[in-house]
Amino acid sequence: MELMVDNEKNVNAIWAFEHLRTSYYGNPFPSVSNRIEGLKRLRKSLLAHREQIQNALFQDFRKPPFESDASELLVCLMEIKSMIKHLNRWSEKQAVSSNITLIGTRSYTILEPKGVVLIFSPWNFPINLSFVPLISAFAAGNKIILKPSELTSHTSKLIEKIVKQAFTDDEIIVLNGGVELAEDLIKLPFDHIFFTGSGKNGKRVMQMAAQNLTPVTLELGGKSPVVIDQKVNLKQVVERVAHAKIINAGQVCISPDYIIIHKDLVDEFIILWKQQLFNWFGDHMVAHQDYCGIIDSKHYHQLLDLVNQSLDEGAELVEPIELDSRTLKIKPILLRNVNWNAPVMQVELFGPVLPIITYSNIEELLPKMMILDRPLCLYVFSKRESFIKQVMNVCRSGGVSINNCLINFCNLDLPFGGNHQSGMGYSHGKYGLETFSHVRSVSKQVFFFSTLKLFYPNYSKLKQKIKNLTINLFS
């Protein structure tokens, strides 16, 4: 297949793809031991660049070094350790039973590399969300092109450096660039595309990938709700929700997007919220070194515009807005008296804004929740199993955390992925390995006689009886 060059800028994309495809054809089934050695080299490279990772993330959007370690580097190291530990077992062929119509056969499945895969990573967790899927893709035996976000330029350049120290150009190539490069890449006939980003861009990726029938994994987002029962330890709830919201200044695909709480608990929730933020950050949160900034001026002003539009429609601030236009920091904005039609309820907020929706009776709320788009995560706080089950049954989501936030993501042995509007496919651990693998089914005739011979023409009375007996056996 000849790949067409539309402009000079996509020459690098085509060269990288063709180079890796040639490399794949030369070694389509790299040994598990070689894959494990590659993961060890990556771990060494990540640790060698630990301080540079902290510096780059701070330069890009003032991410605190502690968060850089905890939410970026640590997740990668955990994923590598788990993959190294389990890869031999996960890569073994898996025996599959055969039914009575296939007596004399043996069946099994094997995981095979898909080929040359493309990974798009976002700006909000550029280390974590570049390397976690990359770890799965490499462990599965693929060749990889990684396209980091252009919005985190310092970190994206560092990612290229980290990869070059751990891998050769025959294994993984990092390409840095903007939207034009991304579109040039999607046009190429990759064997899989893994995209993390917005729903709008996810639709575009899927539409373009369809031209080559390229399978796609979409890690998107959505409005992840926090549903709070009356039967809770409210102080503990506030502490856990506030922590989840301040991480990365709310710029997280599974950040709590809005609160659904009983009307009798609202005032206490607000008091506890203010106290919790004060305990962590003092009087002037936006000046605190442990709090992150917004990625750029565009996103910063979009958030403030949404808040102002919602205030015009009746929402209320619980305290004056505190911000710093120089560092692009916004103290988490809590909004009360918000209705379902408010501007802040129409889009994923992806920032430090948290609307409060109240209810009087959970039964009145459930029909509304049933028709909402399916978010990446659902958070439910309750001591009552019946309440938890009610909410989970009507609010479909990618994952669920009960009586805490983020914990379903933090367990790397669980599949992480969306549901409908929040994405498709999975990452993490064994599930990530399978995402980047073709599960090939194999059946082998081991005895000289094949039962399928009983179904050869001509269809005699004896064969009719055998066929009817077989149908009865499965009825």
Beta bridge partners of residue 203, listed in sequence order: none
3-state secondary structure the chain: CCCCCCCHHHHHHHHHHHHHHHHHHHCCCCCHHHHHHHHHHHHHHHHHCHHHHHHHHHHHHCCCHHHHHHHHHHHHHHHHHHHHHHHHHHCCCEEECCCHHHCCEEEEEEEEECCEEEEECCCCCCCHHHHHHHHHHHHCCCEEEEECCCCCHHHHHHHHHHHHHHCCCCCEEECCCCHHHHHHHHCCCCCEEEEECCHHHHHHHHHHHHHHCCCEEEECCCCCEEEECCCCCHHHHHHHHHHHHHHHHHCCCCCCCEEEEEHHHHHHHHHHHHHHHHHHHCCCHHHCCCCCCCCCHHHHHHHHHHHHHHHHCCCEECCCCCEECCCCEECCEEEECCCCCCHHHCCCCCCCEEEEEEECCHHHHHHHHHCCCCCCEEEEECCCHHHHHHHHHHCCCCEEEECCCCHHHHCCCCCECCCECCEECCECHHHHHHHCEEEEEEEEECCCCCHHHHHCCCCCHHHHHHHHHHHHHCC
First to last CA, the chain: 49
Phi-psi category of 280—alpha, beta or left, where left has phi over 0 and alpha has psi -120 to 50?
alpha
- Can 316 be counted among the known catalytic residues? no
Distances (CA, A) of 280 to 243, 274, 298, 456: 10, 10, 28, 76
Do 109 and 96 contact (CB within 8 A), yes or no?
yes
Q: What does each C-alpha distance from 350 to 240, 268, 281, 345, 369 come to in angstroms?
A: 18, 25, 21, 12, 20
Q: Is the dihedral of CA 165, 166, 168, 173 positive or negative?
A: negative
From the list 79, 171, 253, 292, the catalytic residue is 253
Contacts of 304 (CB under 8 A, 6+ apart): 321, 323, 330
Q: Is-catalytic flag, 253?
A: yes
One of 67, 79, 171, 219 is an active-site residue; which one?
219
| Catalytic residue list | 219, 253
